[in-house]
Homo-oligomer: A and B are copies of this chain.
Amino acid sequence: MVLKYYFDLMSQPSRALYIFLKLTKIPFESCPVALRKGKKVPFIHDDNFKLAESIAIARYLTRAYPVNDHWYPKDSQRQAKMDEFLEWQHLNLRAFCTLYFQIKWLQPMITGKQPTPEQLNKSEDDMVNTLNRFVEYFLKDGPFINGAAKISFSDILAACEIEQLRIASYEPREDRPILKNWIENVRNDCNPYYDEAHKLVNNLVDRAKKDVQAKL
């Protein structure tokens, strides 16, 4: 039975796994789930085997399906450095970018209430610091994360997280040439699936820009 993939393209890790599945040509059945209904996405059903958590899923897929080594290297030390990023990002890139997106865009949209300037400033500081640390620690040595010559699952995961900021009218590429260059490398390697997975994000970014222009 074909792998079932449950996802919502509004969710950053859902987009990352969607792009990964497409690029690695792993056959799967698309099972869209509305995130707003409170279901935790992404998850998979591989026959009777159920699994959540995007990083656990990506690692499992590289063992269960024929996937090129660069996506998640088998070499022990290179794999360990990839794991170091994947474990680091939870309480850094993921935590602070998501929090900024929620405080600045999602919560006002749901509740109609704006954050206080203190909340927004604190969240923006944390987000900016984590983006700068990401560039400094993980992007400084080459075209992809950890200076790798080829793209890995980590690159897709990080790029999808960072793209989410644009919905909240924050452009992560601005004044960050290394990050801009890297995210374009990721996009180019992942297209047409990168743009396909980000269609909803890009629509929301366009709408936010029009709202700002309408107010001018």
Assess whether A184 is interfacial by the CB under 8 Å rule: no
Q: Which chain A residues numbered 45 to 75 have a C-beta less than 8 Å away from chain B?
A: 49, 51-57, 59-60, 63-64
Q: Which residues of B contact A63 (CB under 8 A)?
A: 76, 79-80
CB distance A77 to B91 under 8 Å? Answer: no
Q: Is A195 an interface residue (CB 8 A)?
A: no
Contact B64 A49 (CB under 8 A): no
- In A197-211, which residues have CB < 8 Å from any B CB? none
How many copies the complex holds: the figure is: 2
The secondary structure that dominates the A interface is helix
Residues of chain B with a CB closer than 8 A to A90's CB = 87, 90-91
Chain B residues lying within 8 Å of A64, measured Cβ to Cβ, are 76
Cα–Cα, bound, A80→B46 (Å)? 12
Asked if A81 lies at the interface with its beta carbon under 8 angstroms from chain B, I say yes
**A80 in complex: contacting residue of B51, B77, B88, CB < 8 Å:** B51
Nearest neighbor of A51 in chain B, beta-carbon distance: B80
Q: Given A49-B77, A77-B49, A95-B95 in contact, is the A59-B83 Cβ separation under 8 Å?
A: yes
Residues of B within 8 A of A88 (CB): 52-53
Give the interface size bracket for A toward B: 20 to 34
A84 touches which of B52, B77, B84, B95 (Cβ 8 Å): B52
Interface residue? A94 (CB, 8 A): yes
CB–CB A91/B95 < 8 A = yes
Nearest chain B residue, comparing its CB with the CB of A61: B80
Give min CB distance, A119 to chain B, whole Å: 13
CB distance from A104 to the nearest CB of B (A): 19
Verify A80–B60 contact, CB threshold 8 A.
yes
Q: A52-B84, A52-B88, A53-B83 are in contact. List 4 more A-B contacts (CB 8 A).
A: A60-B76, A60-B79, A63-B80, A64-B76
Interface residues of A (CB under 8 A from B): 49, 51-57, 59-60, 63-64, 76-77, 79-81, 83-84, 86-88, 90-91, 94-95
